[in-house]
Structure 1
Amino acid sequence: MIIWKVGMEDMSDSKLMRGTMVLTAATFASKILGLIYIFPFTAIVGQTGIALYSYGYLPYTVLLSLATLGVPLAVSKFVSRYNALGDYQTGYRLFKSGLIFMSITGILAFLILFFAAPYIVPWIIENPTDKGNTFEEIVFTIRMVSVALIVVPIMSIIRGYFQGFQSMGPTAVSQVIEQIVRIVFILAITFSIVNMMDGSIGLAVGFATFGAFVGAIGGLAVLLTYWFKRKSLIQEQVEKSTTDHQLSLKAMYKELIAYALPLSFVGLAIPLYQLIDLFTFNNTLIGTHLTQDESEVAFAVFSNTAHKIILIPMALATALSITLIPTITKSFTTNDTGLLQKQITQTYQVILFLTIPAAVGMSILAYPAFGALYGLEDFEIGGYILRYYAPITLFFSLFAVTSAILQGMNKQKIAVIALAVGLFLKLVTNSWLLSLFGPLGGVFATYAGYVASIAVTVWAIGKYAQFNYKLIAKRTLLILVFAGVMALGVIATNVGMQHVIPITNQLRAFPTLFVGIIVGIVIYLYLGYRSNLAGQVLGARFSFLNRKKQKVKQEGS
């Protein structure tokens, strides 16, 4: 009986890890799709259209997070806990009441955003003129995206319920389908309005934001298909519950909110920073540094187009490291200090090894990267902002992962405090730095906020995990040296390539970007391989990088 139980636990752990990997892959695929579509979309609507798109999407993202309050993860944690106790009834009751509750919060969020749209516009641009996006266009865009708030919260509760059964497939498939439907709709509708019907950019962007609702319908359809297939099986388990805690709705939601609030707030880090920029960027710069259309282009680059490029290495690094978080939870819970130290060290190493060279490379290749991906219309301002903003990918990654480690150690409240400190610093310095440095002021204020937040999370990990940073400090120094050598090679390549093939159109930017990336990768990986740093950091995942093991194999043969 004991052997069978242990076997079942191993199978359960295996299923959970496999499910986590599937969900991580789907999230990564969804993010990549969300990046790729922005290039043709920008080609259709331009940077001013992208700015308008951001005006609608940023308030929507924040309000959506407040409406859902981290529900998928919180519900999955709640359902999983009571299912493990043989109480399927409690989780099912939460699911049924949650569908009603999330429908109400979704409708309320929709009504708030829809009717608040005219009052939000002056916070974004005090007196919009016809030289940029007009008052009516911004209101229309915000109202079009607000409709998605009716559907998305309902999806979040269904996803969370499935995840509580360690079934990640429905969430994974629905995420990818939602993104595909949204992107196809956005590109089709904007191309039709601008290129075929000769409609305005404002109209096209308004309908593009409506793509959030269309995509959500696609995602919901997938989830409902899964639900009707599994409904009888789930109800059978509910009826066979061995116990019923008979929790009141008040007690259930109190427990749910305790899980959800920290997860929701930390997950909102980037949108909250962008919301501060949304309400300060244009109103600080218009009339002092830039005209309205110039400020809107700079805002589009900063908040969306350059930002999308920066998220690429962050997505890869966090996807590789975040899989360690469930094991960190287990080590912390079982008080296995040695293993916990090893896992945290590995997590830090993966992030630093991947994002430091990526940040350096993106900064050096900022102009060819922006030109190749978005064309030369706003090449100067795009390359200029991207050059200084690129290193933020390291800070985004570090905060995401250190917050996840604290979550694994059940110290998520500290991650919330860290974010609050960073946001406060961003809020009080943003307008001042924008007035001093123009568009780069927003970049510098973001750096200041993230450095403060990371200082808190790094300190907390050191204290509560008794983590010693000496090895990480040594590895960071070595990575910086390698990234510095790589930088010299990439700078020489960039200058040489632009001398041979000047960037006079979008197509001519590609060779410089491609060759620069290849040279950077070759130099950095060569140094990492020769020093065996690559093997120590990534050898468990990519055995060919582990030079010492390769040497032992060769000697053995």
Structure 2
Amino acid sequence: MSKDTFLKGAFILTVAGIVVKIIGSVNRILLSRLLGGEGVGLYQMAYPIYLLALSISSAGIPVAISIIVAEKLALHDYRGAKRVFHISLGVLAATGLIFTFLLYYGAGWLIEHQFVRDVRAYYAIAALAPAIFFVTVLSSYRGYFQGLQMMTPTAVSQIFEQLFRVVTMIALAYLLLPRGLEYAAAGASFGAGPGAAAGLMVLLYFYWRHNSEFQHHMNMQPKVRQESGFRIVGRIIKLALPVSLANIMLPVVSNIDLLIVPPRLEAAGHTVEQATESFGYLTGMAIPLVNLATILTSSLAASLVPAVSGAYTLGNKQSIYQRTATAMRIANLITIPSFVGMWLLATPISQMLYGTPNAGICIAILSVGIFLLGFHQVTTGVLQGLGHTTIPVVNMAISAVVKIIMSWLLTAMPELGIRGAAWATVADFGVAAVLNMYFVYRYVGFSINLTDTFKAALASAVMGGTVLMVYDAMMTYTLHNSISTLGAILSGLTVFGIVILLVGGIEARDIEQIPKVGSILAKTLRTLKLLRR
């Protein structure tokens, strides 16, 4: 089977993640214009319930499958890998069907018991039910391909899923709008089903395309005793449960923010309206930018899991160390300049994207969290690949407690206000990252490479000076803020790229792993004497 290196796989997933984000942004704009605030509100009442049901039914399963499949392939046990996939597929198909019926028939119960207070949201909740089955089955295939260290099927399916989802959402919302806002919101919700079905069709194509080659390996393999089905299911549950808990914890922490931050802002002297506005700047504007900046590190984490798992199965500690070091170095090349650029241009970015400078202070503070969150994501991928899936979720729970305490104390201080809540979020990322790093050092022996970090920091500092000069110069000539901000960002990226090449912060093998253009780009940079041989 043709495998991607973990770095190439990360690049593939990153490109897909960016495309998915762009399509999603277009969708939010069109849906908001079509349904207005009230219609989007009905849709948003249904969607968190769907995500919760999905988290319980399947979240964590792809990670577990990828770990076990990678273990089997490392031992050349192709029959075992296929057996893991078939068992997980059967289990997930059953659980997906169960949760589909639970959500469909439970929609009325949620309305009746006022867990959802607007009765019009019933149609949107029920319309999301079919998607659970398709997404749950989809997760089994994605876990299987990721275990094979083939990231292209997952990446392509993500793009097709999002594209079909958005097209169906907008089309049905538009067609059903004359019947009423609740039916239009339901049409938008229903789009998740066809989207997941399209993604599944893509994965079925890749499965059919590669199955004959895999079957050949199975036929050539000598017979070995296979694990029982109960043992495989037990291992999947053991590995997946902590990951599922971590996925559930994210919306739980967000809801805790909702319960703590606005009241504590009021305690600091804000009116209800001011508290709501500040909370929107933090959670609706600043945090999405942090998540956007860490697309590559989350992709690195996903790609690391099977790569580390396979090496761990073979007892290859040196390979685990090298892959961890490479992932951390690449993460630094993304997160450190992103932190510096967003810190310096926080207010202009806020004005450019959201039409207000008021989110600038939250963006500036949370920019520190880009480096820490990227650190946390990569170390989580390493620990999961080692089979220690419980450790990251325990560390997340500890960091969440720290965040709650800091949010309660700092947000109520009049001199801090929403800045206190932002710093509490940064502390949340930081504590989780430090705790993860302790365990990575304990199990892998890896610690932060100060030389690589210094090179990234030096290039980022030069980039930061360039960003400020270009922005100020362009604004002096009365250019629009958006043009000046984009000009500063592009100039900063160019300078960072040149400086990091000059100081030797990027290796030839890193460039060569970029899909399609990597080898050509590396050769060109060598010719220009900007890349070490």
Task: Pick the aligned partner of 2:288 from 302, 308, 333.
Answer: 308
1:180 to 150, 160, 163: 163
1:450 corresponding residue in structure 2? 429
> Per the alignment, do residues 537 and 524 of structure 1 end up closer, same or farther by CA in structure 2, a change over 3 Å counting?
farther
Query: Please, which of 468, 480, 502 is the counterpart of residue 530 of structure 1?
Result: 502
1:519 Cα offset (Å) = 2.3
The residue correspondences of 1:362-401 to structure 2 (distance < 5 A) are 362-374=342-354, 376=355, 379-401=356-378
* Aligned equivalents of 2:276, 2:100: Cα separation in 1: 30
Instruction: Report what 2:62 is aligned to.
Output: 72
Shift of 1:415: 1.8
Instruction: Measure how far apart 1:520 and its partner are.
Output: 1.4
Do the aligned partners of 2:471 and 2:488 also contact (CA within 8 Å) in 1? Answer: yes
1:417/1:184 CA distance change after superposition, 3 Å: same
Deviation of the 1:257 alpha carbon: 0.4
Q: Is the 8 A contact 1:22 1:169 kept in 2?
A: yes
> In the alignment, what sits opposite 1:95?
89
Moved more, 105-114 or 207-216: 105-114
When residues 185 and 419 of structure 1 are mapped into structure 2, their CA distance, relative to the original with a 3 A threshold, is: same
Corresponding residue of 1:484: 461
| Contact persistence 1:62–1:272 (CA under 8 A) | no
- Give the alignment's Cα RMSD to 1 decimal: 4.7
Task: Please state how far the C-alpha of 1:224 moved relative to its aligned partner.
Answer: 6.2
Residue in structure 2 matched with residue 152 of structure 1 by the alignment:
135
User: For the Cα contact (< 8 Å) 1:89–1:241, is it kept in 2?
Assistant: no
CA contact (8 A) 1:58 1:274 kept: no
Task: Determine helix, strand or coil for the equivalent of 1:86.
Answer: helix
Q: Distance in 1 between matches of 2:489 and 2:266?
A: 36
2:446 counterpart of 1:467: yes
1:283–1:141: structure 2 CA closer, same or farther, 3 Å change rule? farther
Letter in 2 for 1:458: M
Report if aligned partners of 1:55, 1:278 keep a CA contact under 8 Å in 2.
Answer: no
Structure 2, unaligned runs of 5 or more: none
Q: Structure 1 stretches of 5 or more lacking a match? A: 1-10, 123-133, 503-507
The structural deviation recorded for 1:23 is 5.6
CA gap 1:76/1:107 in 2 versus in 1, 3 angstroms = farther
Q: 1:411 aligns with which of 388, 391, 401?
A: 388
- Give the number of equivalent residue pairs: 521
**Which residue is equivalent to 1:105?**
99
Out of 208, 211, 232, the position equivalent to 2:191 is 211
Question: How far apart are 1:518 and its partner, in Å?
Answer: 1.7
Distance 1:73 1:107, change over 3 A: farther
Compared CA separation, residues 423 and 137, structure 1 to 2 (3 A): farther
Q: Structure 1 residues 285 and 250, CA, compared in 2 at 3 Å: closer, same or farther?
A: farther
Distance in 1 (CA, whole Å) between partners of 2:171 and 2:46 is 19
The secondary structure found in structure 2 opposite 1:390 is helix
Q: Give, in angstroms, the shift of residue 418 of structure 1.
A: 1.4
Q: 1:205 to 1:297 in 2, by over 3 A?
A: farther
After the TM superposition, which of the residue ranges 543-552 and 342-351 deviates more from structure 2? 543-552
Equivalent of residue 272 in structure 2, options 282, 291, 296: 291
CA distance in 2, matches of 1:17, 1:484: 26
The letter of the residue matching 2:157 is: S
CA contact (8 A) 1:54 1:303 kept: no
Normalised to the residue count of structure 1, the TM-score between the two structures is: 0.75
What is the match of residue 127 of structure 1?
A: none
- Native 8 Å contact 1:361 1:490 kept in 2: yes
Q: Structure 1: which amino acid aligns with 2:24?
A: G
8 Å CA contact 1:71, 1:260 repeated in 2: yes
Cα 1:71–1:552 change in 2 (3 A) is closer
Give the CA deviation at 1:20: 7.7
- Give the conservation status (yes or no) of the 8 Å contact 2:20–2:159: yes
**CA separation of 1:240/1:545 partners in 2, compared to 1, >3 Å: closer, same or farther?**
closer
Residue by residue over 1:482-513, the C-alpha shift from the partner in whole angstroms, topping out at 9 and shown as x without a partner, is: 323432332333344344336xxxxx443122
Q: CA deviation at 1:404?
A: 0.6
Q: Which residue does the alignment assign to 2:237?
A: 257
Question: In the TM superposition, what is the alpha-carbon distance from 1:444 to its structure 2 partner?
Answer: 2.2
Query: Where do 1:274-285 residues align within 5 Å?
Result: 274-282=254-262, 285=265
Mapped contact 1:106–1:152 kept (Cα < 8 A):
no
- 2:358 match: secondary structure: helix
Q: 1:525: Cα distance to partner?
A: 2.5
**8 Å CA contact 1:159, 1:171 repeated in 2:** yes
* Contact 2:304–2:385 (8 Å) recurs in 1: no
Shift of 1:230: 9.2
Report the more deviating stretch, 241-250 or 340-349: 241-250
Q: 1:515 aligns with which of 484, 487, 503?
A: 487
Rounded Cα–Cα distance in structure 2 between residues aligned with 1:537 and 1:231: 30
Matched, 1:497 2:474: yes
Instruction: Work out the CA distance in 2 between the residues paired with 1:235 and 1:290.
Output: 66
2:13–2:151 contact (8 Å) kept in structure 1 = yes
Measure, in 2, the Cα distance between the counterparts of 1:488 and 1:553.
22
- The verdict on how the C-alpha distance between 1:327 and 1:274 changes in structure 2, with shifts beyond 3 A counting, is same
CA contact (8 A) 1:32 1:312 kept: no
Q: Quick one: distance in 2 between partners of 1:78 and 1:319?
A: 19
Structure 1: how far apart are the matches of 2:9 and 2:501?
Answer: 32
In the alignment, the residues of structure 1 paired with residue 507 and residue 227 of structure 2 have an alpha-carbon distance, to the nearest angstrom, of 51
Deviations 1:515-545 (A, max 9, x none): 1112212332333233222458945556767
Question: Counterparts of 2:341 and 2:481 in 1: how far apart (Å)?
Answer: 15
Moved more, 219-228 or 309-318: 219-228
| Helix, strand or coil at the partner of 2:377 | helix
Q: Which amino acid aligns with 1:450?
A: F
CA apart distance, 1:448 = 1.5
Displacement of 1:399 in angstroms is 1.0
User: Residue 419 of structure 1: CA displacement?
Assistant: 1.5
Question: Which of 13, 23, 27 is 1:33 aligned to?
Answer: 23
Counterparts of 1:459 and 1:112 in 2: how far apart (Å)? 44
